[in-house]
Amino acid sequence: MAADLPKVELHLHLEGAAPPTFIRGLAREKHMDLSGIFGEDGSYKYRDFWDFLKVYEAATDTLKTPEDYRRLTLAVLEESAASGVVYSECFLSPDFCGGRDVGAWKEYLLAIREAADQAERTMGITLRGIVTPIRHFGPDKARQTAICAAETAGDWIVGFGLAGDEKIGEPKDFRWSFDAAREAGLRLTCHAGEWGGPESVHAAIRDLEVERIGHGVRAIEDMALVDQIAEQGIVLEICPGSNIVLGLYTGWRQHPIHQLRERGVKVTISTDDPPFFHTTMAHEYDRLAEAFDWDAGVFHSIARASIDAAFCDGDTRTRIIKTLEAAHA
Ligand code: ADE
Ligand code: ZN
């Protein structure tokens, strides 16, 4: 059932979605030795979240040109489309694409968009970008990233976020960057409540005025905060498989997505960094259906809530809604 349902994914890191075979191929072409980041079965190998961030950055180190990113984007969208994704928003970091230089970033973006246009024509999947500084690179670099974001804000770069190590720094350190992005017309999201507790989610909402939260699941540790999130209509970009593989929860039934939804929170479903977590959107749907007895009606309402929370323009939203409704009729 799952693969056939049209899906909307709002939380996907482009480099984190790179198939290991793709990264191994690039490493071979560039004579780089990356054997240390792969296990015997060929998948990415890491000990915990912090080691995951290192392996992520080592894999990303193979991506050195706009052409590499064009190929990466196509490889990633092939996987997403095979899982039934019809609309996706992915995190892009000028930190990795041109070292935060505006001119270089524009070239990377052109290549990524070329791949996205091709995928839209041939696979029927629509992609939009969210520019994302990396928290553990610090607020100064985030400012440069925000300038890249503001310079390219429009109908394709539609949002601004913050990824990386939530244990480092505080949301308010990034206020300048988020204000600049907002003034450029970008919509805002921030990773919080993954490795930080409820106070981290609270700070992202209060200090950065975001309308979506990446993960946000640890809000469940403070029901007053959960009610605030529900009342304010803040959307959680939940990545259950990622949370389980990284050890936040012991299994699918223990994951709080069902409880958050029952309490009135707008929940959405994403994969985060799918090959790192041995997942796909279809896999997430199957496991959630099994754990919580969710049927096609539940998944349809989540897909509708997801496209309503997407940062794209109205015409794109209307087109995707038609696709979702036609499949559900
Ligand atoms: N970058 C890639 N995946 C991430 C995650 N799950 N949390 C924070 N930063 C990330
Ligand atoms: Zn993420």
Q: Which of 199, 223, 149, 154 has its CA nearest to residue 179?
A: 149
| Average pLDDT, integer, range 299-313 | 98
What was the pLDDT predicted at 168?
97
**Interior angle at CA 91, CA 271 and CA 229, nearest 5:** 70
Nearest CA among 132, 285, 309, 162 for reference residue 235: 309
What are 150-186's pLDDT values in tens digits? 999 999 999 999 999 999 999 999 999 999 999 999 9
Q: How far is the CA of 185 from the centre of ligand 2 (A)?
A: 22
Residue showing tokens 């009342």: 231
Token couple for 178: 């988020």
**pLDDT confidence of residue 2:** 85
Average pLDDT over residues 304-314: 98
H helix intervals, the chain: 20-29, 49-60, 66-82, 102-123, 139-152, 175-183, 198-208, 223-232, 240-245, 257-262, 281-292, 296-309, 314-328
Longest dimension (CA), the chain: 53
- Tokens coding 254: 């223990």
Find out whether the beta carbon of 95 lies less than 6 Å from any atom of ligand 1. no
Q: Is the CB of 270 under 6 A from ligand 1?
A: no
Closest to 174 (Cα-Cα) out of 145, 215, 213: 145
Q: How far is the CA of 11 from the centre of ligand 2 (A)?
A: 6
Gap from CA of 272 to ligand 2 centroid (Å): 5
pLDDT band at 3 (very low <50, low <70, confident <90, very high): confident
Q: For the whole model, what pTM was predicted?
A: 0.98
For residue 282, what are its two tokens?
């279809």
Q: Which long-range contacts (C-beta less than 8 Å, at least 24 apart) are formed by 33-40?
A: 34/58, 34/59, 34/62
Instruction: Please confirm, yes or no, whether 120 is among the known catalytic residues.
Output: no
List pLDDT tens digits, range 62-108: 999 999 999 999 999 999 999 999 999 999 999 999 999 999 999 99
CA distance 83 to 41: 22
Residue 1 has pLDDT above 70, yes or no: no
In a 13 Å sphere around the CA of 226, the CA atoms on its Cβ side amount to 18
Q: Tens digit of pLDDT for each residue in 21-76?
A: 999 999 999 999 998 999 999 999 999 999 999 999 999 999 999 999 999 999 99
| 242 pocket-lining for ligand 1 (C-beta < 6 Å) | yes
As a whole number of angstroms, the distance between CA 266 and CA 249 comes to: 20
**311-325 average pLDDT score:** 98
190 Cβ contact partners less than 8 Å away, ≥ 6 residues apart = 161, 162, 171, 174, 178, 204, 208, 210, 213, 214
**CATH architecture designation of domain 2-18+63-328:** Alpha-Beta Barrel (3.20)
Q: How far apart are CA 245 and CA 242, in angstroms?
A: 5
Percent of the chain whose predicted confidence (pLDDT) is above 70: 100
Residue 102 CA to residue 246 CA, distance in Å, equals 34
- Domain boundary assignment for the chain: 2-18+63-328, 20-62
Kindly tell me if the per-residue pLDDT of 269 is higher than 90: yes
Q: Considering the chain, what is the average pLDDT of its residues?
A: 98
